[in-house]
Every structure is written in C-alpha cells, then in structure tokens.
Structure 1
Amino acid sequence: MEKPHQQINTVMTTLITSTAFPSDIYSFSAHAVREGQHIGDNVFIIIEGKMSLRNQHNQLLLVDVYGPYILNLIPDILSRTYIIGEESQFSYISYPRNVFYSHIDHHNLWPEIFDILSYSSIHLGEQLEIMKLRSLYEVVKYYLIKINDSDVLRDRENICNYITSRTGYSKSGVMTILKELKKGGYLGIANGKLRWLKTLPLKF
C-alpha cells in the first residue's frame, strides 16, 4: 500500500489554514529536548524531516517516519512504549486530541483519516513482525531483501549501518553474517553497499 500523500496533504492544509486555533510550527532535535522523550498523547503533524521511534526498553527501532505525515491518531498506541530517537530531526505541529478530532468532524475528513490509518496499521504491522524475528540471521536476511528491492536503498545505504541502526544488534555480529554470505556467493558488496543478491538460505 502506497503512502496516502493526497489525503495527508488535505488534512494538513485544512489544519494549517484554519483560524479556529493556532498552528505553531516547532522544530525537534536531540540537542533541544531531554533524553528519551515520549511522543505524548497529542496528534503529531510532521511537516518535514524524519522522526525515529524506538522501544524505550531495548532501543530497537520501530519505524522511521518521514514528513509529511500524521502520527499518533489512536491514543496510547505509541505514547507508552516508544520514545523519539535521538537521531530524529523534524518540524511539526502538535494538536490536542480533542481539538484535532473536532476539526476532522467539522470538515468531514474521516474518509481521509481512514486511509491514513489503514496505511499506518499496515506499515507499523510489518515493522512489529520484524521485531518478532527470532535470530540475527533472519533480521539480516529481511533487510538484505528490502535493500535489494529498492534502487534508492542499494545506491544510498551502507548495508551494515542500515541494519544496525534499525535493530540495535552489534556491528560485528551483522558483519560476520554478511562476510559468510559473501564468501558463499550469495551477495555482492562494494564500498559497503549491496550490488546484487541471490536467493538466501533458510538458515545460517
């Protein structure tokens, strides 16, 4: 399912242009806030930049959210377990939940909200499934396939850094698996980037 850009922009435009309440824009950076800040209960409108959400107990990455986006539409889903990662940097508007819902109701924007929630549930569901994988190899295998399926990721991302920044696993552990897969002829790496990938073995 593709990101519902049109629906997000429609909701954001009506909020920002509304004269019923202020829409002050703030900037988030790790240097300006306390460590381990929770997202809270407000609805977040991410205008631009990246918000990283990490598990507060083990620092595993749940998801990178790129603006424009509307986050935290359902209460308590993210606010209690996940924190904003220190690598995050984004501009945003924060609305009290009751104010946001009232605005959506007044402008009859529930169909747009439904599409945004549908996308979010699928996207977050995929990430939660990754966190359930039982071994480091299964995680590395998942991300190798993801990188291989994206021209942008293959050209831009260092494989090891990409995986470790999203999982909390050690660089040495990830590199050991990558080296063995390369030795076995399952993949090609140049300057830390994936060049090609064959069908990977079920187990390592």
Structure 2
Amino acid sequence: MVRLTAPTILGLAVSDAYLVVKETAIIGTIPQEEVFHRIEDRGLWEVFARHMMVQTNKLYLYSGQLSAPTSYELVRKQLIELINEPESLRNSISVERYIRDKVHLSRTCVMKILSDLKTGGYIVIEVGRLREIKHLPLKY
C-alpha cells in the first residue's frame, strides 16, 4: 500500500493489517499501551502527532489513487471551484486554461467535455469565460 523506510512506527491506529517487506528487515512489536506509555514518559506527543500526520497523508494520497476520478469528474470539480471564484478572476482567465492549470488533462479532452456541457445547456460560456452553471450532472 505504501513504501516506508526504516526506522518507522507502523500500525498504531490499525487493527487489522499485514506487512510485506521487499528486503530483509528487523521487525519488532510491542503492545499499543506500552507505546503510549513510552511516548508519555518521554514527552513525545508532538513528535508522535507529526508522525501520524505523515502516515495519514500517505494513506490519503493512496486512497486518491485507488479512487481516481474520471476526466469528467476532474473537470466538474474545477468548474464548481471556478464559479465560486471572484468574478474578476473568472473574467481574467478562460475556463479551459483555469481547468488545465489545475489538472493534468489534454486541451482536447477539456474542450470536448466543456463543449458537451455547453451544448447540453448545463453551463454558459461566453468568449471562453464561464458565466453560469445551470446544473452539472454527476456522471458524463
């Protein structure tokens, strides 16, 4: 699931997991309560919290890879973000450029989705600028 380097602490907030190693490793286990006791005795709660933040971020990024959004979902999200931007920003950048600056999609892909949404009456684009979102379907 994630690639880790030694030394590390793993599994403190996980109740059912397994470990696969790519190289020879020394692995030790201690009860969770003992870990917490040692953290408390040494005043390491801030260090522990930072470690957990790193681990949580890795899990978040991994879950994003597993549930990778479709091109349409990426465009849809960016359209919603753009319509909520100040009007001055919306008027200063084309909707296509705004989207492509934030997601890794080809211009052709973005333009096709925007064209279909405009043709379907879901969005209003004038001179390349997003003017209105009437309704964005969940699926394309």
Give the alignment's TM-score, normalised by structure 1.
Answer: 0.35
Counterpart residue number, 2:3: none
Q: Does 1:156 align with 2:100?
A: no
- Residues 1:202 and 1:188: Cα distance change in structure 2 (over 3 Å): same
Q: Does 1:192 align with 2:128?
A: yes
Task: Indicate the SS of the match to 1:194.
Answer: strand
- Opposite residue 148 of structure 1, the aligned amino acid is I
Take 1:149 and 1:155, find their aligned partners in 2: how far apart are those partners? 12
Kindly state the Cα deviation for residue 199 of structure 1 after the two structures are TM-superposed: 1.9
> Larger RCO: Structure 1 or Structure 2 (Cα < 8 Å, ≥ 6 residues apart)?
1
Kindly state the Cα deviation for residue 135 of structure 1 after the two structures are TM-superposed: 0.3
Counterpart residue number, 1:145: 80
Give the alignment's TM-score, normalised by structure 2.
Answer: 0.50
Task: Indicate the SS of the match to 1:146.
Answer: helix
- Residues 1:171 and 1:157: Cα distance change in structure 2 (over 3 Å): same
RMSD of aligned Cα (Å): 3.2
How do 1:33-44 residues align onto structure 2 when only pairs under 5 Å count? none
Q: Does 1:135 align with 2:58?
A: no
Contact 1:159 1:193 in 2 (8 A): yes
Listed one character per residue, the Cα deviations across residues 151-202 of structure 1 (whole Å, up to 9, x for unaligned) are 2432222111111122121000000000000001011111111011112001
Gaps of 5+ in 2: 1-59
How do 1:75-154 residues align onto structure 2 when only pairs under 5 Å count? 133-151=68-86, 152-154=88-90
Counterpart residue number, 1:171: 107
Aligned length: 84
Q: Equivalent pairs: percent with the same residue?
A: 36
Counterpart residue number, 2:35: none
Kindly indicate which of the two structures has a greater share of residues assigned to strand.
1
Q: Deviating runs (4+, > 3 A) in structure 1?
A: none
Return the index of the structure with the highest Cα Rg.
2
